[in-house]
Amino acid sequence: MCECPDRVAVTGVLGYSGRYMARKLVNRGVGIVGLTNSVGKPNPDGWRLSPLCWDDPVALAESMRGCRALINTYWVRFNSRWFSHAEAVEHTRVLFEAAAKAGVERIVHISITHPDRDSSLSYFRGKAELERMLESQDIPYSVLRPAVLFGERPGEDILINNMAWVLRNFPVVGIPENGEYRLQPIHVEDLAALAVREAMAEGGENRVIEAVGPEAYTFRGLFAMLGEAIGVKRPVLSVPPWCAFAAARVMGAFHRDVMLTRDEIRGLMEDRLYVEGAVPAGFSRLSSWARRHAQELGRSYACEMARRRVER
């Protein structure tokens, strides 16, 4: 890859959203330093890779030397025996401090809607702690708060694809309680464009952006829209949360995966994936995307743990 006048460090360039962000930067003539836990994973885009060496912050800082910005997508979806939200918070603290030592001029951090330091949910509590860390540092930052990602190809995302998979493979769908809690999905390309815009921004202004798409759905309504898009309509029934979790656990075990956690169900039911009055930061409509990809959406199960097994 040629030397470019600007360089940006991006975590997760071999993963989902980070890959789209890196490609948009390259299309602008910006050099990439890909920070990853998976330097041995296939690298079809030919990124310049450096390891996320959490135990060597000096080397981590040196890998970001000369970068104007850091885009951080690093996080873990749920707690497991291999990784945890608490561990991800500590790792990200090391990353932020290394960026400061490297002279990075701006940090763009991917957070979540409604982070909350007082939440009993470690996902939202950990994200809030990371935002607090940024506030305490001297580096200008942009915090992007997406709810749910979708696109570009079905199966790259987890939740939307697997909702369609459930519709295709079961005669009835059970959802926790009334299903009236809401989501605001954003297209991965829209999130990537937003991250790149913020990474290349001039000046020292700090920004927090609700990175939500133009459409909002209740959980029940999202199943209805997806069913109509793929031509597979199913009855959607209200069930107790424990029943929904038990069903998700059984389906996850069949795929050697974690389909939906108890905390994710609680986060949904607490309406944490919807921001009242937020101005949409994305432009792509999930309903239009689902209709365009109707033939392939949900045809196969998207396995989170299979991806992580490849990356480990």
Q: Could you give the dihedral angle defined by the CA atoms of residues 274, 278, 283 and 289, in that order, rounded to the nearest 10 degrees?
A: 20
Closest CA to 51 of 66, 40, 43: 40
Tokens of 247: 């069903």
Confidence of residue 308 (pLDDT cuts 50, 70, 90): low
Say if residue 311's pLDDT is above 50. Answer: no
For residue 218, list its beta bridge partners. Answer: 182
Judged by DSSP in three states, 250 sits in: helix
Say if residue 39's pLDDT is above 90. Answer: no
Tokens of 164: 């369609």
**CB atoms near residue 203 (< 10 Å):** 7
Residue 311 phi, psi dihedral angles, 5° rounding: -75, -25
pLDDT higher for 130 or 203?
Answer: 130
pLDDT single digits (tens) 219-241: 999 999 999 999 999 999 999 99
Q: What's the pLDDT at 91?
A: 98
Residues in the chain: 312
User: Which residues of 6-146 form beta strands (DSSP E)?
Assistant: 7-11, 31-36, 49-51, 69-72, 106-110, 141-144
Alpha-carbon distance values, 189 to 16, 108, 125 (Å): 11, 16, 27
Closest CA to 73 of 4, 137, 20: 20
Confidence of residue 312 (pLDDT cuts 50, 70, 90): very low
Task: Give pTM, 2 decimals.
Answer: 0.94
Q: What's the pLDDT at 95?
A: 98
C-alpha to C-alpha distance for 211 and 194, rounded to whole angstroms = 8
* 28-37, 87-96, 150-159: least confidently modelled range: 150-159
Alpha-carbon distance values, 14 to 8, 188, 265 (Å): 15, 14, 28
pLDDT single digits (tens) 172-218: 999 999 999 999 999 999 999 999 999 999 989 999 999 999 999 99
Confidence of residue 306 (pLDDT cuts 50, 70, 90): low
- What is the pLDDT of the chain when averaged over all its residues? 94
Say if residue 161's pLDDT is above 50. Answer: yes
Say if residue 1's pLDDT is above 60. Answer: no
Residue burial 286-306, b: 16+ Cβ < 10 Å; e: rest: bbebbeebbeebbeebbbbbe
Alpha-carbon distance values, 298 to 94, 153, 156, 184, 249 (Å): 38, 11, 11, 20, 18
C-alpha to C-alpha distance for 247 and 162, rounded to whole angstroms = 13
User: Which residues of the chain form beta strands (DSSP E)?
Assistant: 7-11, 31-36, 49-51, 69-72, 106-110, 141-144, 148-150, 173-176, 182-183, 185-187, 207-209, 217-218, 236-239
Q: What's the pLDDT at 305?
A: 75
pLDDT single digits (tens) 265-301: 999 999 999 999 999 999 999 999 999 999 999 999 9
C-alpha to C-alpha distance for 92 and 296, rounded to whole angstroms = 36
Residue range 135-141: average pLDDT?
95
